[in-house]
Amino acid sequence: MMSAALRTGTKPLSRAFSSRAVDGFVGAVGNTPLIYLKKWSEKTGCTIVGKGEFQNPGGSVKDRAALGIVQDAEARGLLKPGGTVVEGTAGNTGIGLAHVCRARGYKCVIFMPNTQSQEKIDLLRMLGAEVHPVPAVAYENPANYNHQARDYAANLPNAIWTDQFDNTANANAHYATTGPEIWEQTEGKVDAFICATGTGGTLAGTGKFLKEKSKGKTQIWLADPPGSVLQSYIASGGKLKERSGSSITEGIGQGRITQNLGTLVKDLDGAFTVPDDKSIHMLYDLLDNEGLYLGASSALNVVAAVELAQKLGPGHTVATILCDGAYRYQSRLFSKKWLEAKGLQDAIPDHLKKYAVL
C-alpha cells in the first residue's frame, strides 16, 4: 500500500534500532492524531474532529504533499540521486520540501516574491534551501516567481519543478494517507469532511478517498476565505468570478480551479465562506478551550466544520484539518496593533483578549 511507502521512504528501514522507530524525517510524516474538539462537539451534539497536521515533522499539512511529489518524481525516474527540487512558494510547501530534500539528499531551490518576511527566507536557508527572492509581479508576467521556478528547473539536468498547484501527486499523497487515516481513526463513521484549499491537494485527495470508501455517503464540503472564488464557483454551478478582496488567513483561497482541485470539484456537496472575524474568534477560542495553538486556516476550518455540523444536525461526525500551528504567524495573530489594523479587535470577546499579548 502506498501509505506504507510514504511512511518509510524508498530506502529500507535500518534494523539497527527498534522496529517501532520510523525512518527519519520521511518516516515521521503523517499518522497524525485525530483530535476531538470537545466544546464544539458538545454545543452541536455532533462529533467534531480535527486532523492534527501541525504535528507533522515540518509543522504542517504540506509535508505530505512535499513528500508525495518528491516520491512520485523518484518513482517516475524524473529525479535521481543528487538532483534538484525547485518550487515557487513562500509558505509551508517550501518548508516541507526543504526538509524532504535534506532527508533525501537533494538540492532545494525556492523562488519567492521579495515582499516576504526575512524570517521565512532565513528559515528556508537554515533548512539548506537556496532562496531566490524575485520581484513581486503578477502571474501574467513571465518574471513571476512561479514561472521563474519552472524555467529554472527546465534548464537544469536532473531537476524537477514540483508545481504544487497542478501536479496531482499532491492530491494523490492525501488520497494515499490522509484519507485512509481519517477513515481508520473514525472507524468509518465520518459523515462529512470539510476544509479550505490553497492548491486543493488536501481537500481533493482526502475527499476523493472518503467518498469512494463510503460509497458516496461521506459528504465533502469546501471552506473558503473572503477574497477566494471557490465558494461562488460551487454555489453557481461552475461560474468563475474575478478574485477580489483579501483575508487574514494565509495559504488558502484561490482564483482558479487547479488541477488538484479539479480531480474532485464536480463531486463536492457544497461550500461555505467564513469571514475573518469568525476565524480569529475561533483561533482564540480553540486556544482557550482546547489548548490548541493554531494558524488561521485551521481556525477557519473549525468554524466551517461547526457550521456543517449544525446543518447536518446532532449525531453526525464531521472531520476537518488543523493545518499548522500559530508559531509562524504569532507576531500578527497575537498582536493588538495588528488586530486593530485589520479591524478585528472587536471580533475577540473581552475574556479572550488576554491572549493578545504582543
Chain residues in the site for ligand PMP (CB under 6 A): 60-62, 91-92, 196-202, 250-252, 295, 297, 323-324
What contacts 59, CB < 8 A, 6 or more positions away? 92, 95, 324, 325, 327, 328
Taking the complex as a whole, how short is the minimal distance between the CB of residue 222 and ligand PMP, in angstroms?
10
* Kind and range of the H or E run holding 204: helix 201-213
Min. distance of Cβ 26 from ligand PMP in angstroms? Answer: 19
Q: Output the smallest distance, CB 289 to ligand PMP, in A.
A: 21
Catalytic residue among 38, 39, 51, 62: 62
Cβ burial of 348 (10 Å; 0-12, 13-18, 19+) is buried
User: Nearer to ligand PMP by C-beta: 60 or 218?
Assistant: 60
Name the minimum Å distance from CB 76 to ligand PMP: 21
| Per-residue cell: 206 | 482526502
Residue 132's DSSP bridge partners are: 111
The verdict on whether 336 is a catalytic residue reads: no
Q: How far is the CB of 331 from ligand PMP (least distance, A)?
A: 16
Pick from 307, 328, 332, 320: which is nearest to 96 by CA?
A: 328
Q: State the alpha helices, DSSP H only, in 220-341.
A: 230-235, 259-262, 276-290, 296-312, 330-333, 336-341
Q: Please, which residue, 68 or 83, has the CB nearer to ligand PMP?
A: 68
60, three cell numbers:
504542517
Beta carbon nearer to ligand PMP, 197 or 273? 197
Q: Which is nearer to ligand PMP, 123 or 156 (CB)?
A: 123
Helix or strand (DSSP H, E) at 203: helix 201-213
Q: Output 83 or 90, the one with its CB closest to ligand PMP.
A: 90
Residue 42: other Cβ atoms inside 10 A:
10
**Which lies closer to ligand PMP via its Cβ, residue 198 or residue 226?**
198
Q: Which residue is nearest to ligand PMP (CB)?
A: 251
CB of 253: closest distance to ligand PMP in angstroms?
9
Which of 77, 254, 102, 75 is closest to 173 using CA atoms? 75
Q: Which three cell numbers stand for residue 109?
A: 531551490
Segments of 33-157 assigned E as strands: 34-36, 47-52, 84-88, 107-113, 130-134
C-alpha span between 247 and 60 (Å, rounded): 20
Is the torsion defined by CA of 176, 223, 355, 44 positive or negative? negative
**Which residues are catalytically annotated?**
62
